[in-house]
Structures are given as C-alpha cells and as structure tokens.
Structure 1
Amino acid sequence: MNELVARVKGMITAPAQEWQAIAREPVELVPLFTRYVMILAAIPAVAGFIIGMFFGFFGALSGAIVGYILSLVGVFVTAKVIEVLAPKFGGPADADAALKLAAFAPTASWVAGGAVIVPLLGAIVALAGSFYALYTLYLGVPVVMRVPQDKALTFTLSVIGVTILVNIAVIVMTRIIL
C-alpha cells in the first residue's frame, strides 16, 4: 500500500520525475492491475455509486460495476492504441511501455473522481483532475514511449482523440447494458 501511495503522490506532485522512475521499472500486467489500476479506478466508481444511491440502489450498483469494468477495459484499449500509434510518431511499438503510460497517466483523474460526491465543487475537481491527467500523459510520452519531444504533443493529442472515442464507446455500452 505504501508503494501505491508513493506512486500516486509522485504522479500528482512530480509527474516528470515519476515518469523517469516508471520508464526504468519492469512491468507485469497482473500486479500493475491488481495493485494499482483496479484500486484507483474504483475511486470514481464508488463515488458514483454513492451519488447514484439517491436515485436507486440497484441502478447505482449496476452502473458502478459496469462503468468500473469498462474503465479497466479502457486501459487495455488505450494501451493498444498507444502501442500502435507510437511508430507513426517516431517511437517504438512497445507493449510494456504503452501499458505503463495507459495505466499511470489517469492517476490524477481517478483520484479526483472521488470528489464527485461533493455537489458541484466535486465535479469541478474531477474535471480538473482529468485535465491534469492529460498533462501527465503528455509528460510521459517522450519518457516512456520514447517519442521525440517535437512529436510528443501531436502524439498526445492523437492518443487523447482516440481515448475520447474509447470513452464515448464505454458510455454508450454502459447505457446499452443498463
């Protein structure tokens, strides 16, 4: 748990330095997901469930579960998109590096997503966390994916565009399933 807290703190307070550390570390899919992604992705899901309970327990529960699962799938899809796009911007098609970028970049968004339980202000905090997560993604691109700095912004914008499409698909699928 101390490693999780240290990584979250690093990604929020000093993301450039944290990406340097992340780039040097080996990555294993199962520990990365069970000890980091699954825990942090649960924060906005639980907060959404708490808010949703005002409108009905079972709807809130099913919405939280489906949204949570689809957000985990979104990390995999985003990693694959990053892996495929990287060579087009001068970086290698490195599945491990792409997984690192997709798994750690949303940290601020997940943490800030817990604020939605506070009316209005919480939504603003969550939105700010999402924008900050995009900034951390941009910082991580040249370090983790080894995309040249002069192409990092266009690569990041491409990843963001595809990620927005993935999130729209997640929202649509959630509405269809529920």
Structure 2
Amino acid sequence: MSLTHTLGLLTHPDREWEAIRNEPESLGKLYFGHVLLLALIPAIAGFYGSTQVGWQIGDGQIIRLTSTSALQLSVLFYAAMLAGIYIIGRFIDFFAATYEVKDSTPRGITLAAYTATPVFMLGITAVYPNIWINMIVGLIAVAYAVYLLYEGLPILMKIPEDRGFMFATAVLTVGLVMFVGLLAISVVIWSVGIGPVYVS
C-alpha cells in the first residue's frame, strides 16, 4: 500500500525514493492508497478549524464560517489538491524528455504525490487556525516538500543530480505558477457566490 512509504519519506527519504522507484504502481493504486487519503487531512482539519474553533485577528472577536460555507470550501480545496497533483505530475512526464530521462515509465504523478506528503500531513494544524502557527508549520511543510522534490527527482527519474536539480527547479516554478493561478481562480469563485460565509 502506498501509505507505507509515508513514514519512510519523513525519516529516510533516499532509501524510500529508491523503494518507490523499484515498486511501480498504477495511477489508481497511487491515488486510492495515498493521495485521496492524505489529502483529506488538511480538508477535514480546515473544515473543523474554521467552523468549531475559528480564528482571531488581534484582539478582535473570534471568526467562524458557517458549516455550509466551510464544507463548500473544503470540497473545493480537496478537489484542487487532487487536480494539482495530477497536473504537476503530467507536467513532469511531459518535460522528462527535455531533461533526457531515458526511462519511458511515467513517474511524474508518483513524484508529485509523494512530494506533497509533508504538506498533506502537516495540514492537521488547520484544526487550530492560528495564523502564526499555521504559517510556521506551513513553511516547514513546504520546505520539506521542496527538499523531497530535489532529493527524489534524480532518484526516481534515474538522471544525474545536476540535471535533476534543473528539472526540479522547473517543476517548482510550475508549482508556484499554479499556486498563483489558484489564488486567481479563488477570487473568481468567490465573486460568483461560493465564498466564505461567516457566522454572525
């Protein structure tokens, strides 16, 4: 099962990337055994935190979302995570030839899915939506995900580290562009009425 690699990626990523490379799995197995489950963590935590705990800016009152609004946003967030993994994975596969990856097995979605593991897991902090805690933990999760990307790409694609570095940088750039695009899409979605509705 794909979840068996989760702890290994956090404790000994080099060996785990090798194990992932040597155990190719189908897209369905990867999604059902890893992505669909782990992506639920930040979605459910965010729903709970925004409806039950709430957040506070300065000394102001505690702000919470209605359950309906939080559910809509959680579902959209969950769908965005699933789509993001797939899109970045397809990008990796598309540009593999550019970086002289000789293995014809598509491994982009596998790389994207396992690279996102720390972000999924540390998404649990959304149960307590404190801006500073979430920001610090989020930065740690993203930093470790970037480390996994740079560490895992050359291993998974079996290319030299210098080429892997360039390839990983291109993937990271696409990820940042997608993030900005997601922010723009969020604004559009909010403008058509699927935005946060606060408990009065």
Shared fold (TM-score, shorter chain, > 0.5): yes
Give yes or no for the alignment of 1:31 onto 2:29.
yes
Equivalence for 1:173: 185
Equivalence for 1:75: 85
Identity, % of aligned positions = 29
Range with greater deviation from structure 2 (82-91 or 37-46): 82-91
Distance 1:95 1:79, change over 3 A: farther
Equivalence for 2:125: 115
Secondary structure, aligned partner of 2:101: coil
Pick the aligned partner of 2:68 from 58, 71, 74: 58
Distance 1:142 1:61, change over 3 A: same
Range with greater deviation from structure 2 (110-119 or 28-37): 110-119
Pick the aligned partner of 1:126 from 138, 144, 164: 138
Q: CA deviation at 1:64?
A: 0.6
Q: Which aligned runs of 4 or more in structure 1 are off by greater than 3 angstroms? A: 92-95
Equivalence for 1:161: 173
Q: CA deviation at 1:102?
A: 1.2
Equivalence for 1:13: 11
Alignment partners' CA distance in 1, 2:84 and 2:134: 23
Equivalence for 1:143: 155
Deviations 1:64-91 (A, max 9, x none): 1001011101111001110122222222
Q: CA deviation at 1:93?
A: 7.1
Range with greater deviation from structure 2 (49-58 or 153-162): 49-58
Is the helix fraction higher in 1 or 2? Answer: 1
TM-score, structure 2 normalization: 0.81
CA contact (8 A) 2:5 2:20 kept: no
Measured on the aligned residues, the alpha-carbon RMSD in Å equals: 1.8
Query: Is there any run of 5+ residues in structure 1 with no aligned partner, and where?
Result: none
Given residue 52 of structure 1, which amino acid in structure 2 is its aligned partner? S
Alignment partners' CA distance in 1, 2:41 and 2:84: 16
Paired residue total: 176
Equivalence for 2:60: none
Alignment partners' CA distance in 2, 1:36 and 1:139: 20
Equivalence for 1:89: 99
